[in-house]
Amino acid sequence: MPDATEPSLAPSVLPIRLACFDLDGTLLGKPDATLSFQRAWLALPEGTRPVLVYNTGRMLADSLRQLRRTDLPPPDYLICGVGTLIYRRETQEVVQEFSEIMSGGWNRAKAVEVVTQTTHAVPQPAHFQSPFKSSWYLHHASTEVIDGLRAALETAGLQAAVVYSSDRDLDVLPMLADKGNALDWLLNHLDISPAEALVAGDTGNDAAMFHLPDVRGIVVENAQPELLEAVLTTRPYMAHAICADGVLEGMKHYGSSRKCPLRSPRILVTTGSLRRSSSSSSRLPPTS
């Protein structure tokens, strides 16, 4: 007999097969909540856990150091550097297929030159930098300043993306690099639909994850206004709790039972069509 507390799997309901969460300010920032998330996640039978992905602006070495210092469960994948690198924990290797995509149309030295000439931004420390990520501090920049930088990069012949978050952090990246594109590529790579994914974040550089078609999103209570504004049309769950407590609250919201779905053998979400939009599927070349 099936467990009476578990809902039946209707055609419009799909299991969450992948959970992709930001670190700082989302899973991290409130230690007791981080520990609660760890306990809830590890309570799942190992064979039924979704793929766990941490999607962070930190670089790989910094991310691994941070994870060793926290109570978070080990992820299956790390997306680092605002979507510029994917790391598989099982093999302890960077996914080279994804890294090869990043190099097209990218010239980091020229990007640095344009930022220096166009803004008063100050470079962030070396451990925040990478071949595919030029990171700066630019406090209280207006929309006009950010748009002007984008225009200057385009005039210089660069295929570059500009990500501005927390009213301070400026990242100039290859055009195809952002947290959403990296997640989209990984979903394709793992043959998982966005409708079977759940994301959570707190700042503007998380917004691209929420715009994948049919993805379910959690905005934690301590989110920056820039994220709230960017995801209004995606109708995410707006948590009333901060950091990892908000993530757990969102997981419960998307479940079909009263208890937190992380403690259930099946994590369920309601969803619509499985089809991706043509614009999303073409953002990054699929894995071979």
pLDDT tens per residue across span 181-236: 999 999 999 999 999 999 999 999 999 999 999 999 999 999 999 999 999 999 99
Largest CA distance in the chain: 69
Query: What is the structure's pLDDT at 233?
Result: 93
**Residue 207 per-residue DSSP state:** H
Mean pLDDT of the region 87-98: 95
Is 261 or 250 the better-scoring residue by pLDDT? Answer: 250
Which tokens is 258 given?
A: 């009263």
Residue 1: pLDDT band by 50, 70, 90 thresholds? very low
**Residue partners of 247: CB distance under 8 A and separation at least 6:** 21, 26, 27, 37, 200, 218, 220, 239
Evaluate whether 54 touches 74 at the Cβ level (below 8 Å).
Answer: no
Query: What is the structure's pLDDT at 228?
Result: 96
Query: What is the structure's pLDDT at 82?
Result: 93
Evaluate whether 63 touches 279 at the Cβ level (below 8 Å).
Answer: no
Query: What is the structure's pLDDT at 270?
Result: 35
Prediction pTM value: 0.79
List Cα–Cα distances, 179 to 4, 86, 90, 175, in angstroms. Answer: 39, 10, 21, 12
Query: What is the structure's pLDDT at 4?
Result: 39
Other beta carbons within 10 Å of 11: 5
Mean pLDDT of the region 60-87: 96
Residues of the chain above pLDDT 90, percent: 73
